[in-house]
Amino acid sequence: MILHEKISEQLPKWRERIRALAREHADVVVDTVTIGEVVGGMRDTKSLLTDISYVDPGEGIRFRGMTIPEVLKALPKARGAKIPMVGGLYYLLMVGEVPTKEQALEVEAEWAKRAAVPDYVFKMLKTMPKETHPMTLLSQAVLALQNESVFMRKYHSMKKDVYWEAALEDSLNLTAKLPVIAAFIYRMKYFGEKAKPKYNPKQDYGANFARMMKVSDKKGYAELMRLYFIIHSDHESGNASAHATHLVGSTSRMCIMLFPQDSVLWLGPCMALQTRRVCLGCWMCTSSLAEFPHVTIYINLLGIP
């Protein structure tokens, strides 16, 4: 697998860089924290380290140093698509390099192989009360996948320096299953459907999600979702989701256990408002007024008022 090879190749330098940072700059003060900031929920305090993204005050978020326009221009696209493949973005975030089209397609192929969701997950979702929030359902579904965790199975037999291999497997597996689960929740909650969506290995991530959601304009919605997944893929180190996942990750390290800590935060009005703004931003970037229902569909999926 290309991601395993690339990360394995880069890992020695990454580890040495962190060791040098801790060794040579251990006493450097990163930030000061006031009582007001603590009482206010750790607002404006710097306490996490990330190489993945950074929110520039003037240009907005950067992924691996690239602005969103630069990312959209650099990443490879599926045939006939205007927005890059999500597999290319995943490669960029994980490896730190812009992938070729073949490398992006290899990530997409990995997802296609891993997209099958166990029947017990669907059965559990069907038994939940009809008024259950979509993000609660999503969190429950992901937690139910714990039995599928490679990290959990290998935890007591592997050394710490190879934790990343099992974590990568879990990350790929979970990312592959999420659009299937999300589409099932949407069709079940808003249309009363109980049929299990099927991932098509001949389509990319965005196109699969649009087809499984059963929207009328699958091509337009696929473009919107590719853009949304790219823009909203990482939060750098400054929001509640990042803090929650880092904190839980310091104890369990299983991404299947980390993801629900992130997703439940979308139940609150603050994160819901942020998502609405991102959706509207995506619409302004790609859609005419006639395509606005695509945004409404995704807002419904998140259960945003």
Tens-digit pLDDT profile for residues 203-231: 999 999 999 999 888 888 899 899 888 88
The pLDDT of residue 305: 47
pLDDT at res. 272 = 59
Count how many residues are written for the chain: 305
Name the residue among 99, 77, 95, 104 with its Cα closest to residue 227. 77
CA distance 139 to 136: 5
Residue from 227, 187, 202 nearest 85 by CA: 227
**Confidence at residue 56, expressed as pLDDT on a 0 to 100 scale:** 76
60-87 pLDDT, tens digit per residue, is 888 998 988 999 999 999 999 999 999 9
Q: How far apart are the C-alpha atoms of 262 and 82, rounded to whole Å?
A: 30
Range of the domain at 262: 2-301
- Burial label for 39, CB within 10 Å (0-12, 13-18, 19+), is exposed
CATH code of the domain in which 227 resides: 1.10.580.10
Query: Model pTM?
Result: 0.84
**Mean pLDDT per segment of 10 residues, for the chain of length 305 residues?**
91 93 91 84 75 80 90 94 95 95 96 96 95 89 91 90 92 95 94 94 95 90 89 71 75 74 65 62 53 48 48
Say how many domains are in the chain. Answer: 1
How much is the mean pLDDT over the chain?
84
Q: How many CB atoms lie within 10 A of CB 55?
A: 13
